[in-house]
Each structure stands twice: as structure tokens, then as C-alpha cells.
């Protein structure tokens, strides 16, 4: 982890933000409001998914469905994603133990900062991780609803099972839609597989932050 914020303008209180063409175009400064929104979206989905897989575990008489999701979610957000995605983000260079960004806020920074672009295998890991995070609880809950209906066709209870599935689906859709449409097009983790920031803003940020620009240049030469 960097101890001097890597000389990035993101952490420089004297940075000429008012004259920067990136102002309002990318999320290059910490924003508490965006952080709160991202946690509400993530938290709502996680809660619904845990409730849904938990009920499925009860119906199936085994703890594995909810245990697998809970363990994977914790590892993904606290260990895996911070390494393969977040450690390449400028926010990871900040001199503090917990990540202070607009998205994966409060994750412990147990890895070193990687200013170079995200590698192809890390991009695949990010896509697979988010895919599993969304698909697993939905598939498990569908299977639980099927087993419940085949063994105890009680419409009132089935509505409860299906209700949790719908709640999980809606919170997941809201989480992904807001992030992909409103966060990813402005995120400063430019090499992320989901990043949609226009090239002109990427280049402008790199010019203002030579540490990252040099790391990107070295990566391109390999």
C-alpha cells in the first residue's frame, strides 16, 4: 500500500480541479453521497440474497446454500475483488487502511497498490465473480421453490418463497443497472472490464498523474 498517496491529484487538496476538463465527468474525488448510494444498493441485494438462500437452506434441510453464498460474498468483496480490481484503482493508493472510494468503500487494503492496468486474467475473474454473485442466489432460490412446490404445494408458503426470489432479482437488477449505467461510465479504475469512461477523459487523467501513466506505458511495452 502506498504511503504517500502516490502523488495523485485525486488526493491533492491543491489540485486545479476548477480548470480540469475532467471535472464532473469522472469520479476522481471521494464523494460520500455516492458511497452511501453504492452501499445501499449492495447491502439491499446481499440481505435479500442471504434471506432467500437461507430460506432455501431451511426448505432443503441443509446449511450449504446460504453458507456458500455468505462465504463467497465476504471473500469476493473483502479479499478477491480488492486484489484483482480495486488494487489497480487510484483510490487504492490513498494512505489509509480502508478503501475510501465511491463504490467498494471500507474494504481493508491488504494488497499493495498496482498502478498498472488490470491484466486479462483479472478482468475474467472480475466478470466471473460478479456473474456468480448474481446468478447463484437466484438459481438456488428457484430450485428451492421447485422442491418446496413438489413436496408441499402450499400456495401461501410458496408465495413467500417466490417473494424472496423476486426481491433478490429486483435488488440485483437495481444494483447492476445503477452501477453499469451511472457509476462505470465515470469510474477512475479505467482498465476495469466494466469501465466505460471515454478515452479523452482517461488520457487527461493520466497526463495529470505521471505515476499511473508510466505504469501503463511499461505494461504496454511488455
Which residue in 31, 18, 26, 9 sits closest to 201, CA to CA? Answer: 26
What's the pLDDT at 3?
46
Residue 110 lies in a domain: yes
219 neighbors 117 (Cβ within 8 angstroms)? yes
Helix residue spans in the chain (DSSP H): 32-60, 64-75, 81-84, 120-151, 155-178, 199-208, 210-221
3-state secondary structure of 138: helix
Is residue 133 included in any domain, yes or no?
Answer: yes
- The helix-helix angle for 210-221 and 199-208 (nearest 10°) equals 110
Assess if residue 4 is contained within a domain.
no
- Which pLDDT value is given to residue 222? 53
Q: Taking the C-alpha atoms of 127, 128, 132 and 133 in order, what is their torsion angle to the nearest 10 degrees?
A: -40
- Tell me the residue range of the domain where 64 lies: 30-221
Residue 71 covered by a domain: yes
Q: Which residues contact 114 (CB under 8 A, 6 or more apart)?
A: 87, 88, 92, 215
Q: Could you tell me the pTM of the whole model?
A: 0.87
Residues of the chain with pLDDT under 70: 1-6, 152-157, 218-222
Query: Does residue 60 lie within any of the structural domains?
Result: yes
Answer yes or no: is 165 within a domain: yes
Domain total in the chain:
1
State how far Cα 36 lies from the chain centre. 14
In a domain, 174, yes or no: yes
Domain assignment present for residue 9? The answer is no
Amino acid at each position: 500500500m502506498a504511503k504517500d498517496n502516490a502523488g495523485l491529484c485525486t488526493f491533492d487538496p491543491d489540485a486545479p480541479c476548477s480548470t480540469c476538463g475532467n471535472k464532473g465527468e469522472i469520479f476522481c474525488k471521494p464523494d460520500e453521497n455516492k458511497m452511501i448510494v453504492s452501499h445501499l444498493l449492495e447491502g439491499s441485494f446481499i440481505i435479500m440474497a442471504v434471506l432467500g438462500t437461507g430460506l432455501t437452506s431451511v426448505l432443503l434441510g441443509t446449511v450449504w446454500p446460504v453458507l456458500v453464498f455468505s462465504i463467497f460474498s465476504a471473500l469476493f468483496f473483502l479479499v478477491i475483488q480488492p486484489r484483482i480490481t480495486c488494487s489497480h484503482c487510484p483510490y487504492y493508493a490513498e494512505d489509509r487502511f480502508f478503501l475510501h472510494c465511491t463504490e467498494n468503500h471500507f474494504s481493508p487494503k491488504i494488497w499493495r497498490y498496482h498502478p498498472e492496468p488490470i491484466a486479462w486474467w483479472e478482468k475474467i475473474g472480475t466478470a466471473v465473480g460478479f456473474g456468480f454473485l448474481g446468478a447463484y442466489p437466484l438459481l438456488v432460490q428457484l430450485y428451492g421453490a421447485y422442491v418446496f412446490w413438489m413436496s408441499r404445494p402450499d400456495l401461501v408458503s410458496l408465495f413467500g418463497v417466490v417473494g424472496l426470489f423476486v426481491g433478490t432479482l429486483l435488488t440485483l437488477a437495481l444494483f447492476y443497472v445503477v452501477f453499469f449505467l451511472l457509476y462505470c461510465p465515470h469510474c477512475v479504475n479505467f482498465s476495469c472490464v466494466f469501465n466505460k469512461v471515454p478515452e479523452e477523459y482517461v488520457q487527461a487523467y493520466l497526463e495529470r498523474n505521471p505515476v499511473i501513466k508510466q505504469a501503463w506505458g511499461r505494461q504496454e511495452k511488455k
